[in-house]
Amino acid sequence: MNTQRITTGITILFIGIVLLLSQLNSISFNWVGIFRYWPLFIVLAGIRMLVPKDQQIGQFIAIGATVVILGFLTYIGLSTPKEPLLTQLLKNKGVQIDMDDPNDKTNYTAQKLQVPLDDKIKSANLNIDLGATSLKNDSTTTSSIFTAYNTSSEYLLGMTTHGESSDKIDINLKGKFKDKDFNSKNNNTYISLNPNIVWKLNFDIGAIDAKLDLSPYKIEVLDIDAGATSLKLKLGQPLATTKISMDAGASSIEIAIPKNAACRITSDNALSSTSYEGDFLKMDGMVKSTNYDAATEKFDFDINGGIASIKIRRY
């Protein structure tokens, strides 16, 4: 029995299965989270050198140690929430990501936040200022205008509202860690929007992992200022003109739009990789779908990127 071949095969099989399930969105695996346990591979190499290769007991020990270590790494990868690499590096270096603003009068809480339903409200501005968390949207809400909560007791959310007019409201959502030595485990922020309201969304998100399905909502404006971010968005049909502005730093951004939705993309991202799905006409600094000029409902994208990967796909 060739022990080295078997242990190597088990390791390659483990990596292949995890990568496949991650690509199929069946699991969320935190590769960055397991890197801190790299000395285990040195331990494994030492075990393989010490055990007698010509005895069956030594071969079983080497294979068993490989399975145990890979099992432990599987647990760590599945139980630790994904975070952008920059967040991990800053935390490992002891850099404080969330600095308290002495002028911030927001009341922060671990409880679920809610803006009560008001039938007079027809439109809303939602400003989200978050970092070092995973941002997702819950199911839609028709019993409230907006809700938000976080799954970690270490991460607090604060919200302020302002009635801009009798039929319009401003909502501001912020987040911060309770302690300076924070623990990011199970740190997911969920938001819910009312689908009957016309929304203007402003996301100021730093080191964050965001996956948002905005297809059920009426989006008039979407403004994203992203730092070290992994961002996936799904949009529904545009209004007369849905304007989307993006200022992306070191980010990976994927936006899904309906199959026949008309869109125009103005881009100034020389250091970025940008790809588009569908039939598009390309000209100086602009890309637009072939049905854009004739469409009455359309997307207007304005993308300014640093070092970013941006993909517009159809569904």
The Cα–Cα gap between 245 and 201 comes to 10
Are 282 and 292 within 8 A, CB to CB?
no
> DSSP label at 19?
H
Q: Exposure of 26 by Cβ count < 10 A (0-12 exposed, 13-18 middle, 19+ buried)?
A: exposed
Please report the pLDDT score of residue 170 as a whole number.
97
Of the candidates 187, 75, 194, 196, which has an alpha carbon nearest to the alpha carbon of residue 136? 187
> For the chain, what are the domain ranges?
3-80, 108-314
Check: pTM over 0.85? Answer yes or no.
no
Please report the pLDDT score of residue 96 as a whole number.
46
**Which residues of the chain, if any, have pLDDT below 70?**
1, 25, 53, 80-104, 180-185, 207, 228, 249-250, 269-273, 285, 305-308
Longest alpha-carbon distance in the chain: 83
HSE value, Cβ hemisphere, 13 Å, CA-based, for 276 = 19
> pLDDT (tens digit, 9 = 90+) per residue, 175-232?
988 876 555 567 899 999 999 999 999 998 876 788 899 999 999 999 988 776 778 8
Of the candidates 224, 103, 114, 219, which has an alpha carbon nearest to the alpha carbon of residue 159? 114
3-state secondary structure (DSSP) of residue 252: strand
Helices and strands in the chain: count of H runs, count of E runs: 5, 20
222-229 own/partner pairs: CB under 8 Å, 24+ apart: 224/248, 226/251, 226/253, 227/86, 227/131, 227/251, 228/84, 228/85, 228/86, 228/87, 229/84, 229/205, 229/253
Q: For the CA atoms of 52, 56, 62, 67, what is the dihedral angle to 10 degrees?
A: 180
Read off the tokens for 88: 């991990």
Please report the pLDDT score of residue 145 as a whole number.
97
3-state SS string for 91-126 = HHCCCCCCCCCCCCCCCEECCCEEEECCCCCCEEEE
Backbone angles phi, psi at 152, to 5 degrees: -110, 140
